[in-house]
Amino acid sequence: MGVNYFSDDEREFVIKNMYPVRPLVNYLWNETAFAELNHFGFGYSKACINKRFRNIVNNVRLVYVKDLESGEFFDINRNLRDLPYDVFFSRVGLGYQTIESSYRGIYGTFTVLIPETENVELHKITVKNVSDKPRRLSVYPYVRPAVNLNGHLAYGKGDYDEKIGGLYYTFHAFNENNPYQESFYKCSEKASAYATDDRKFIGVYGRLDMPVALRKGMPESCGTAFSDCYCAAMQIDLGLQAGEEKVIYSAVGIGRNREECQALAKKYTEEITFTCEYKKQRTSNETYIEKFKTTTPDKYLNSVTNIWLKRQVTLGKTWGRIYGKGFRDVLQDITGFVSFDGARAKDRILYTLQHQFISGNGLRMFDPTLDYPYQDMPVWIPMALLAYLKETNDFSVLKERIGYYDDERKESVFLHLKRGMDYLYAHQGEHGLGLWGGGDWNDSMNNCGMLGKGESVWLSIATVKATDDYAEILTHYRGETGIETIVEDALNKKKQLIDNIVTYGFEKDHFIYGINDWGEKIGSYECEEGKTYLNPQTWAVIAGILDNTQSNKLMEHVENNLKCAYGYVQNVPPYTRPDEHIGRMSYFGVGLYENGSVYNHGVMFKIVADCMLKRGDRAYETLKMIRYDNPENPDSGTEPYAVSNMYFGPGAFTNKGHAPYSWTTGSAAWMYRAITEFMLGIRADFDGLIIDPALPSAWNGVTAERVFRGVKYFVSFFRGENKGVYVDGKKIEGNKVPLFEKGSTHTVKTVF
Taking the least distance from each CB to its own copies, the nearer of 216 and 409 is 216
| Minimum distance from residue 159 beta carbon to its own copies (Å) | 8
| Stretch touching its own copies by CB under 8 A, among 153-161, 392-400, 516-524, 727-735 | 153-161
Count of residues engaged in binding its own copies, rule: CB under 8 A: 41
| Minimum distance from residue 223 beta carbon to its own copies (Å) | 6
Q: What is the spatial distance between Cα 452 and Cα 620, in angstroms, rounded to a whole number?
A: 41
Q: Can you tell me which of 31, 51, 222, 409 binds its own copies, judged by CB under 8 A?
A: 222
| Minimum distance from residue 147 beta carbon to its own copies (Å) | 12
Q: Can you tell me which of 5, 518, 525, 653 binds its own copies, judged by CB under 8 A?
A: 653
Are 85 and 14 in contact by the 8 Å Cβ rule? The answer is no
Torsional class of 264: left (φ above 0), alpha (ψ -120 to 50), beta (otherwise): alpha
Taking the least distance from each CB to its own copies, the nearer of 174 and 272 is 174
Map the footprint of its own copies across residues 175-204, applying CB under 8 A: 175, 204
Nearest alpha-carbon partner for 604 in 439, 612, 596: 612
Q: Can you tell me which of 48, 146, 562, 652 binds its own copies, judged by CB under 8 A?
A: 652
| Minimum distance from residue 22 beta carbon to its own copies (Å) | 6
| Minimum distance from residue 584 beta carbon to its own copies (Å) | 4
Taking the least distance from each CB to its own copies, the nearer of 93 and 583 is 583
Strands 506-507, 455-456: pairing kind? unpaired
To the nearest 5 percent, what fractions of the chain are helix, strand and coil?
A: 30, 30, 40
Taking the least distance from each CB to its own copies, the nearer of 139 and 598 is 598
- Regarding 224 and contact with its own copies (CB under 8 A), the answer is yes
Taking the least distance from each CB to its own copies, the nearer of 304 and 582 is 582
* CA angle (650, 656, 662) in 5-degree steps: 115
Q: Can you tell me which of 74, 107, 155, 620 binds its own copies, judged by CB under 8 A?
A: 155
- Residue 253: count other Cβ atoms within 10 Å of its Cβ: 28
Q: Is 339 helix (H, G, I), strand (E, B) or coil?
A: coil
Taking the least distance from each CB to its own copies, the nearer of 472 and 579 is 579
Strands 711-718, 745-751: pairing kind? parallel
Q: Can you tell me which of 16, 51, 163, 172 binds its own copies, judged by CB under 8 A?
A: 172
- Regarding 269 and contact with its own copies (CB under 8 A), the answer is no
| Stretch touching its own copies by CB under 8 A, among 148-156, 242-250, 347-355, 430-438 | 148-156
Q: Can you tell me which of 374, 458, 513, 648 binds its own copies, judged by CB under 8 A?
A: 648
- Residue 640 contacts by C-beta under 8 Å, 6 or more apart in sequence? 4, 6, 13, 300, 627, 628, 629
Largest CA distance in the chain: 85
Taking the least distance from each CB to its own copies, the nearer of 23 and 373 is 23
| Minimum distance from residue 592 beta carbon to its own copies (Å) | 4
Map the footprint of its own copies across residues 62-91, applying CB under 8 A: none
x/- mask, its own copies, residues 200-219, rule CB under 8 A, reads ----xx-x-x----------
Q: Can you tell me which of 55, 356, 447, 600 binds its own copies, judged by CB under 8 A?
A: 447
Taking the least distance from each CB to its own copies, the nearer of 18 and 137 is 18
Query: In one letter, which amino acid is 27?
Result: Y
Q: What is the spatial distance between Cα 484 and Cα 124, in angstroms, rounded to a whole number?
A: 59
Q: What is the spatial distance between Cα 548 and Cα 133, in angstroms, rounded to a whole number?
A: 75
Distance of CA 569 to the CA centre of its chain: 21
* CA angle (643, 439, 378) in 5-degree steps: 80
Map the footprint of its own copies across residues 583-612, applying CB under 8 A: 583-584, 587-589, 592-593, 595
- Residue 747 contacts by C-beta under 8 Å, 6 or more apart in sequence? 713, 714, 715, 716, 726, 727, 728, 729
Q: Could you tell me the sign of the dihedral formed by the alpha carbons of 586, 587, 588, 590, in that order?
A: positive
Q: Could you tell me the sign of the dihedral formed by the alpha carbons of 657, 660, 662, 665, in that order?
A: negative
Strands (E), 600-718: 646-647, 682-685, 688-691, 702-708, 711-718
Q: Can you tell me which of 174, 190, 549, 720 binds its own copies, judged by CB under 8 A?
A: 174
- Regarding 351 and contact with its own copies (CB under 8 A), the answer is no
- Regarding 263 and contact with its own copies (CB under 8 A), the answer is no
Map the footprint of its own copies across residues 6-65, applying CB under 8 A: 19, 21-23
Cα–Cα distances in Å, from 402 out to 341, 358, 365, 474, 607? 21, 11, 18, 19, 35
Taking the least distance from each CB to its own copies, the nearer of 158 and 429 is 158
Q: Can you tell me which of 225, 358, 565, 690 binds its own copies, judged by CB under 8 A?
A: 225
For residue 295, the surrounding DSSP H or E stretch is strand 292-295
- Regarding 660 and contact with its own copies (CB under 8 A), the answer is yes
Q: Which residues bind its own copies (CB under 8 A)?
A: 19, 21-23, 152-157, 159, 172-175, 204-205, 207, 209, 222-226, 446-447, 578, 583-584, 587-589, 592-593, 595, 648, 652-655, 660
